[in-house]
A and B are shown apart, each in its own frame.
Chain A
Amino acid sequence: MSDQTGNGRPAGQPPRPADAPLSSENAAVIALTRKDFVSDQEVRWCPGCGDYSILAQTQKTMPDFGVPKENIVFISGIGCSGRLPYYMNTYGFHTIHGRAPTLATGLKLANPELMVWVITGDGDALSIGGNHVLHSMRRNVDIKLVMFNNRIYGLTKGQASPTSELGKRTKSTPAGTVDFPIQPLSIALAAEASFVARSVDTHTEHLQETLNRAGSHRGSAFVEVLQNCNIFNDGAFREFTEREVRDDRMLVLEHGRPMVFGAERDKGIRLRGLHPEVVTLGNDVSESDLLVHDEESEDPYLAFMLSRMWWPEFPVPVGVFRRVARPTHDRLVSGQIDDALRQQGEGDLAKLLLAGETWTVD
């Protein structure tokens, strides 16, 4: 017989307690370093691509989880992002366009103990694979989906994507795209993702921290990484991500803290009616007037409002927008199986075959 038990856990591995976070207490025991996660394959993205940084931050944060690398799987779709699994010295599966979340869902059903990352892009996740993102998130499949958003199709050499700005001229839209863009995080929130965050390829510390928090979450995590494609859409986010301007044009979300931003920490976000507004702290406005970020709020309204804020009307928020606890898909499925086993006992196949009315011929 094989080494799989009936409930799909590789033999010899104790189950992780249901609510234990996939995090750091084992890190010291397992003692892996970034190098352990670097595969022997030559990295083949264009020089200067933002993907290098995302790969590096991913490799750097992996040892923090204390998960043996054989229990980590990277699953990708098609596009430049799809190559990432080849460069991770873990289990990896480069699948087909848009479908990575479906394979990840099946894999988690087969073995809930695995830590599964889905690597995708704006075309892969929001265009051809939009349906699977929607459903994997609403099911709270325990996957960490990292979407590289460069607002362009890179691997096919520069066509408009679902996040390309209206009117953008590309090879496929020489007169400008007529398709209104969507905000990935609004989609993730509407799809009931239990963890929603954004970071930027060049903000390496923030990106590493964001990936770390996503990896520590149990349930469906959606991370948008603003990623520069220096060949087909160079500078897509430059206006607010460049070192000189980013403090004034981006809002770093911190749980429980008022929404303050600016190089001088002198600006903030206040609610006026149902709308956010940018205010300057000083004479008649103090921090106590500002919105306080609450990533754990059961209501998605605040997070959704933040997902709509974009430069130049607003600073672009980064950080964790939403993080709520909900039972994961694999646990609910396993729970039903456990219930059935408790109520009916281990299935007796001979009895099952004879179920219903039978007759005997002598």
Chain B
Amino acid sequence: MTTETPVQRHLPVQELERVTIRFAGDSGDGMQLTGSQFTRTAAVFGNDISTLPDFPAEIRAPAGSLPGVSGFQISFASAEIHTPGDEPDVLVAMNPAALRTNGGELPPGGALIVNSDAFTANNLKKAGYEGNPLTDGSLKAYNVFEVPISTLNARALEDLGMTSKQVDLTKNFFALGLMFWLYERSMEPTLRWIDTKFSARPQIAEGNRRALKAGYAFGETTEMFHTTYRVAPARLSPGTYRNITGNEATALGLVAAARLAGRQLVYGSYPITPASDILHHLATYKNFGVKTFQAEDEIAAIGSAIGASYGGAMGMTASSGPGIALKSEALNLAVMVELPLVVVDVQRAGPSTGMPTKTEQADLLMVMFGRNSDSPVAVVAPATPAECFDYAIEAWRLALKYMTPVVYLSDAFLATGSEPWKVPSLADMPSLAVDNATDRATFQPYARHPQTLARPWAVPGTPGLEHRIGGLEKADMTGNVSYDADNHHRMQLLRAEKIDRIAADIPPLDVFGPERGELIVLGWGSTYGAIRTAVERLQQEGWSVAHGHLRHLNPLPRNTGDVLRSYRRVLVPEVNLGQLSLLLRARYLIDVVGFNRVRGKPFRISEIRSAAEAVLAGRPVDDVSLRSDSQDTFSASGQGLA
């Protein structure tokens, strides 16, 4: 019985407020699974969490190669956190390629756990190492733990009769088990997951269980580690929580919006990274009356959505930049016929195909202006994965109330990143119901609601309201085709005014920090966490700095100009080359300072902080540019893309 009893912990336990771990390995090594299992365990334990998956677009790049490296970073904490962490405290590198692509981001003194079995001559060569970093002293700045994970794991599974390939596939769980031990985590949630996942394959289930337990036991019994770490549960506000990614939250928000509006959701979309998961989620909600349609192309996807909205349903589509570009003509049709429509753009790095799995915020001007003529649409942008739920509902509120297309800007970071989500109560959500037109005595296709300027929604099937709409210019009121000069001018103004009036129906721009002062850092979308954390730190040091974050980008909140003018300087960090900056400068004639980095990665807290410090000190922001005097900056930022 003594052998069954866990070894008494005799190591010192260190309390930490926050830990950031990055799992990195070959894309076939199951790093995304390993990371998400750690995430679930930390979330259920009650930590605040924030995650950043980082995977290649190639499904299976050659094993051991640099492009094939897949990573997953999780930050978990006993206090509220807003980002997945600038840099890892611990890097788990399953092979030399993973070390080479991720090692540069581990700060000196950071813990590096490597699968030493994978550091073979062949793998080292594939990763471009001339020597072996484990032996040549190049890692001496780090706290290196060499663990022969493959060997130890194979030994733990040796009597199961699994093939060596099957055994090798479980080694990620050995690493996971070791990390569970190091951070005092229960293996239970993952053991339960294994039971469910492999219920039909008992041998594989047992292999994974053993791998996990072997990793955990290795931590306990080896004398390699001198400390374990404890990160207490976070003091989140009372409620029931779950872990959620942005794409999951978007899908749930759409289903909730349909319930709140009492209409069916018709979702037309064409597969594209990183938006496809929304389709995958919605396709499983058939018993909520959700109809999903995998169209033949991006244009058919939005066409079906417009057709569905014409028919009285909530028609919507989602894509990423290249697909949104294809949808622009149809989106303009929706502007002309003034039907409700929500278009989700999960932005990724471009131009063209760009870097499909990497994040960027560079579609703002495209969705604002990328259509022929003056063609206003409402634009909203959630700031965090959990907020994706709220803004899916908000997008639909505006679309239905104003009879307009609404673009919802998410991005790859929000879509695949996750955080705890306080599950809202349905009773707290307002109805989104709007009425269809039915009164044949008063019906005019382009009559307008006096406040919102919305035209009536006259749905086929309604007796007496037969009428024709289309992409040709409409005569005011009757909706008949019109080439009248004054009518066109009036209709252009009406379409613009309708969107502008939304400004009276959205919350004012709220600031975190002093209401006036030296500097406001103004962001939008997924930069929220890095900006908020950087601003918090500067405030703690006594700086007069505020954070404002826009969730409505068209129209902008009515107080935006006044808020910005309450600070001496305005800093606008964006993962693009200055798109919101351009809008703000044009609209308010304020000389905002842009801070722009497009590395396919979210901002680091430290980057925002340095930029803010520079502005506060009256120095130029250390921006990435092609100037010869900034070659260092440029090549340094290039390194991470290797």
Contacts and interface: CB of A to CB of B under 8 A. Distances in A.
Interface string A99-127: 10111111111110110000000000000
B93 interface: no
B308 interface: yes
Nearest to B239: A361
Interface stretch (B137-145, B255-263, B518-526): B255-263
Contacts of B599: none
Q: How large, as a class, is the contact surface on chain A?
A: 35 or more
B330 interface: yes
Interface in B437-470: 438, 459-470
Interface stretch (B69-77, B203-211, B288-296, B506-514): B288-296
Max chain A C-beta neighbours (<10 A), residue from B295, B297, B300: B300
B471 A94 contact: yes
Instruction: Name the residue in A4, A6, A94, A104 with the highest tally of chain B Cβ atoms < 10 Å from its Cβ.
Output: A4
Contacts of A339: 286
Contact of B189 (A10, A85, A357): A357
A104 B300 CA distance: 10
A259 B71 CA distance: 68
B469 to A, nearest CB: 6
Contacts of A352: 252, 255, 285, 288
Interface stretch (A129-137, A276-284, A317-325): A129-137
Interface stretch (B117-125, B176-184, B309-317): B309-317
Contacts of B45: 359
Given A8-B264, A86-B468, A131-B297, A357 B460 contact: no
A109 B291 contact: yes
B56 interface: no
A134 B296 CA distance: 9
B288 A349 contact: yes
Given A70-B462, A107-B460, A2 B262 contact: yes
A102 B467 contact: no
A251 interface: no
Contact of B293 (A69, A94, A106, A353): A106
A46 interface: no
Given A4-B264, A6-B264, A86-B481, A347 B289 contact: yes
Given A2-B433, A94-B472, A349-B259, A361 B300 contact: no
Contact of A354 (B43, B285, B423, B463): B423
Interface in A343-357: 343-347, 349-350, 352-357
Nearest to A92: B468
Contacts of A10: 312, 459, 461-462
A337 interface: yes
Contacts of A357: 40, 43-44, 189, 242-243
Nearest to B469: A93
Nearest to A9: B461
A39 to B, nearest CB: 7
Nearest to A87: B468
A102 B269 CA distance: 12
A285 interface: no
Choose among B295, B329, B459 the residue with the greatest number of A CB atoms under 10 Å from its CB.
B459
A96 B287 contact: no
Contacts of B431: 1
A6 B264 CA distance: 6
A359 B43 CA distance: 8
Interface in B226-276: 235-243, 252, 255-256, 259, 261-264, 266, 268
Given A2-B435, A4-B264, A352-B285, A111 B461 contact: yes
A131 B297 CA distance: 8
A362 interface: yes
Interface residues of B, number: 81
B468 A85 contact: yes
Contact of B307 (A13, A70, A103, A333): A103
Nearest to B438: A3
A53 interface: no
B203 to A, nearest CB: 26
B566 interface: no
A39 B468 contact: yes
Interface string A295-338: 00000000000000000000000000000000000000100110
A109 B313 CA distance: 9
Interface string A1-37: 1111011101001000000000000000000000000
A7 B255 CA distance: 14
A200 to B, nearest CB: 27
A71 interface: yes
A340 B286 contact: yes
B46 A104 contact: no
Given A10-B461, A102-B302, A337-B287, 9 more contacts: A68-B463, A86-B481, A96-B471, A105-B307, A106-B315, A111-B459, A340-B287, A347-B287, A349-B255
Which 3 residue pairs are nearest across A and B when measured between Cβ atoms?
A102-B303, A94-B470, A106-B307
Interface of B: 40, 43-46, 189, 235-243, 252, 255-256, 259, 261-264, 266, 268, 285-289, 291, 293, 295-297, 299-313, 315, 329-330, 333, 337, 423-426, 431, 433-436, 438, 459-472, 480-481
23 contacts: A2-B433, A4-B262, A4-B263, A6-B264, A6-B289, A8-B312, A70-B461, A73-B460, A94-B469, A94-B472, A96-B330, A99-B300, A102-B301, A106-B307, A111-B313, A111-B460, A131-B296, A135-B295, A353-B252, A354-B242, A359-B43, A361-B238, A362-B238
Interface of A: 1-4, 6-8, 10, 13, 39, 41, 68-71, 73, 75-76, 85-86, 88-96, 99, 101-111, 113-114, 131-132, 134-135, 333, 336-337, 339-341, 343-347, 349-350, 352-362
